[in-house]
């Protein structure tokens, strides 16, 4: 491990790999050091030994950001053979008495199903954002320090509308828009991805970004074969450009690092403080130490003998299902978690990839991905709570469960050190931390130590498989550490003749 390289990336999550690809394409020698035996961090698809031929996405499963992110747009997953399969129903929200909110890929169809004034209100809120999704992405997925380059003058209108909508849906005013419970619950299920009390500005920003993408070009796709297909495409490109990946290599001290001109950490600020200790200037160290981690997820992966028997069959055609009931019920569940308690009826996210990708099934069995929101550091096995929540809206669910595995929140960091206490966002998604992530420093990727940068979901734009933290940090490294002014192309190789 002593051979010198130009740049070392610590961690092989989507951000780490995006950084490594960018640097390697600029002609640098790049080595990725990964603590785990497998590459890909929060985008791995693994055989958990639950049933022959069945693999699970151990973290991320659904990927609106894999087409909407400017990094992936330039990298072009589709041209590299990653099939982003778009469900006709982006997400669903089962409600009591067999009812459900359904968000189709088409905003018009969604509004039509909701019907009446709430249908029109849904369309008025998300229709314009889904049509101007590039401007929404430029706003929400920028580095929060510079004026987004994708924000053309006309985009100022979108920015103003987006800000107003965040204020409306992120505060007590949130019930003004919808009279019935269907549309309100549908939007709240998306806001809940932020794992914050509801309503909250962080939750509203999340709901409006992801809600718009659900109705935009690429919808909420599921990669054929699982999230690992995205990782495989990134790794293939890195290797093709001379990069290398070393697994089973946790970086705990400086001795674990080979000599290099630049180090990019696809980790939380904690790892940088641990590795560089007193070399981090006091003010920067204090700011990084103040970075707050959020509440958590406990994962439950099931193997089923058939589809989930949702009371409303239309829910069974959705790529993602938010299970938590009405807006008020979900707000109560998230309030319990925020207060450090387990909700009696927790918020559960569910995805059955075979809805769009039959190849994920085997021998009549299929995987089901789910996780529940729990307090940070929870050691509770939530299998029964998750099963009961799904059963509530899908009577007979227990009968199709063949096997399952729970990773309690406190154990999430064993397969990915970035998920401190089970915080899958690698840092709380509060409005403050979405702007000052990981601190208020002018350059959010700079750690204050010469040549050492952060590039993970703990930096802007935050959580999600978009590669933007890695791309942004790598482009700074090229300019500052290597004086390379022109950005390397990320375009895929031309197809063979």
Ligand X SMILES: Cc1cc2nc3c(=O)[nH]c(=O)nc-3n(C[C@H](O)[C@H](O)[C@H](O)COP(=O)(O)OP(=O)(O)OC[C@H]3O[C@@H](n4cnc5c(N)ncnc54)[C@H](O)[C@@H]3O)c2cc1C
111/372 with CB nearer ligand X: 372
# binding residues, ligand X (CB under 6 A): 39
Considering the rule CB under 6 A, would residue 299 count as an interface residue with ligand X? yes
Question: Residue 487 and residue 475: Cα distance in Å, rounded?
Answer: 7
Q: How far is the CB of 267 from ligand X (least distance, A)?
A: 4
User: In the window 142-161, what residues touch ligand X (CB under 6 A)?
Assistant: none
386/457 with CB nearer ligand X: 457
CB 295 within 8 A of CB 338: yes
- Report the 10 Å Cβ neighbour count for 48: 16
What is the crossing angle of helices 155-169 and 133-140, to 10°? 70
Q: Which stretch binds ligand X (CB under 6 A): 32-40, 100-108, 156-164, 176-184?
A: 32-40
Q: Count Cα neighbours of 343 within 13 Å in the Cβ-side half-sphere.
A: 29
User: In the window 324-383, what residues touch ligand X (CB under 6 A)?
Assistant: 371
Question: Residue 111 and residue 32: Cα distance in Å, rounded?
Answer: 46
Considering the rule CB under 6 A, would residue 417 count as an interface residue with ligand X? yes
Considering the rule CB under 6 A, would residue 418 count as an interface residue with ligand X? yes
| Residue selected from 7, 8, 9, 14 as contacting ligand X according to rule CB under 6 A | 14
60/90 with CB nearer ligand X: 60
Question: Residue 356 and residue 389: Cα distance in Å, rounded?
Answer: 23
Rg (CA), the chain: 22
Q: How far is the CB of 14 from ligand X (least distance, A)?
A: 5
What is the DSSP pairing of strand 89-94 with strand 100-104? antiparallel
Considering the rule CB under 6 A, would residue 468 count as an interface residue with ligand X? no
Considering the rule CB under 6 A, would residue 61 count as an interface residue with ligand X? yes
User: In the window 237-266, what residues touch ligand X (CB under 6 A)?
Assistant: 250-251, 266
- CA torsion, ordered 204, 207, 210, 213, to nearest 10 deg: -100
| Residue selected from 5, 11, 75, 105 as contacting ligand X according to rule CB under 6 A | 11
Residue 213: phi and psi, rounded to 5, are -65, -30
CB 249 within 8 A of CB 395: no
User: In the window 160-219, what residues touch ligand X (CB under 6 A)?
Assistant: none
36/123 with CB nearer ligand X: 36
- CA torsion, ordered 433, 454, 465, 248, to nearest 10 deg: -130
Considering the rule CB under 6 A, would residue 35 count as an interface residue with ligand X? yes
Q: How far is the CB of 36 from ligand X (least distance, A)?
A: 4
Close Cβ partners of 249 (under 8 Å, ≥ 6 residues apart) = 1, 33, 34, 35, 256
Q: How far is the CB of 345 from ligand X (least distance, A)?
A: 19
User: In the window 40-59, what residues touch ligand X (CB under 6 A)?
Assistant: 41-43, 59
Q: How far is the CB of 158 from ligand X (least distance, A)?
A: 22
CA–CA–CA angle 150, 481, 139 (5° rounding): 15
Q: Binding residues for ligand X, per CB under 6 A?
A: 10-16, 33-36, 41-43, 59-63, 65, 250-251, 266-267, 271, 297, 299, 371, 416-419, 424, 456-457, 463-465, 469
């Amino acid at each position: 491990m002593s051979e010198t390289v130009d740049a070392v990336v610590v961690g092989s999550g989507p951000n780490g790999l995006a950084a490594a690809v960018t640097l390697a394409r600029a002609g640098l020698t790049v080595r990725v050091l990964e603590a785990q035996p497998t590459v890909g961090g929060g985008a791995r698809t693994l055989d958990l030994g639950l049933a022959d031929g069945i693999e699970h996405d151990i973290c991320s499963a659904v990927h609106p950001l894999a087409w909407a992110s400017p990094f992936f747009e330039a990298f072009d997953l589709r041209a590299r053979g990653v099939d982003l399969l778009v469900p006709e129903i982006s997400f669903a929200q089962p409600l009591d008495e067999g009812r459900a909110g359904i968000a189709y890929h088409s905003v018009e169809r969604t509004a039509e199903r909701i019907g009446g004034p709430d249908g029109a209100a849904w369309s008025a809120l998300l229709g314009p954002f889904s049509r101007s999704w590039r401007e929404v992405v430029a706003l929400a997925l920028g580095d929060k320090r510079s004026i987004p380059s994708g924000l053309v003058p006309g985009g100022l209108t979108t920015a103003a509308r987006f800000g107003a909508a965040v204020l409306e849906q992120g505060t007590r005013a949130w019930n003004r828009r919808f009279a019935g419970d269907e549309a309100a619950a549908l939007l709240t299920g998306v806001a809940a991805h932020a794992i914050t009390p509801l309503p909250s500005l962080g939750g509203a920003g999340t709901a409006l970004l992801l809600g718009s993408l659900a109705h935009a070009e690429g919808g909420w796709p599921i990669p054929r074969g699982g999230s690992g297909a995205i990782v495989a495409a990134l790794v293939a490109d890195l290797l093709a450009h001379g990069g290398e990946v070393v697994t089973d290599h946790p970086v705990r001290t400086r001795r674990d690092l080979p000599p290099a001109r630049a180090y990019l950490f696809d980790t939380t600020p904690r790892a940088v403080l641990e590795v560089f200790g007193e070399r981090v200037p006091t003010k920067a160290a204090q700011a990084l130490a103040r970075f707050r981690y959020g509440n958590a997820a406990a994962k439950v992966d099931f193997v089923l003998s058939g589809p989930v028997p949702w009371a409303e069959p239309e829910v069974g055609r959705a790529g993602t299902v938010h299970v938590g009931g009405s807006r008020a019920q979900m707000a109560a569940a998230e309030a319990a978690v925020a207060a450090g308690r387990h909700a009696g009826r927790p918020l559960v996210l569910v995805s059955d990839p075979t809805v769009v990708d039959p190849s994920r099934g085997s021998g009549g069995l299929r995987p089901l991905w789910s996780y529940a929101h729990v307090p940070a550091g929870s050691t509770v096995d939530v299998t029964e709570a998750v099963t009961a929540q799904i059963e509530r809206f899908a009577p007979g669910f227990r009968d199709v469960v063949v096997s399952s595995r729970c990773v309690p929140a406190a154990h999430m960091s064993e397969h990915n050190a970035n998920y401190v206490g089970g915080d899958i966002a690698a840092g709380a998604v509060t409005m403050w931390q979405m702007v000052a992530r990981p601190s208020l420093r002018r350059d959010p990727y700079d750690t204050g130590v010469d040549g050492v940068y952060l590039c993970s979901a703990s930096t802007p734009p935050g959580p999600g498989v978009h590669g933007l933290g890695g791309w942004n940090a790598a482009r700074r490294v090229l300019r500052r550490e290597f004086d390379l002014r022109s950005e390397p192309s990320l375009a895929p190789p031309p197809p063979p003749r």
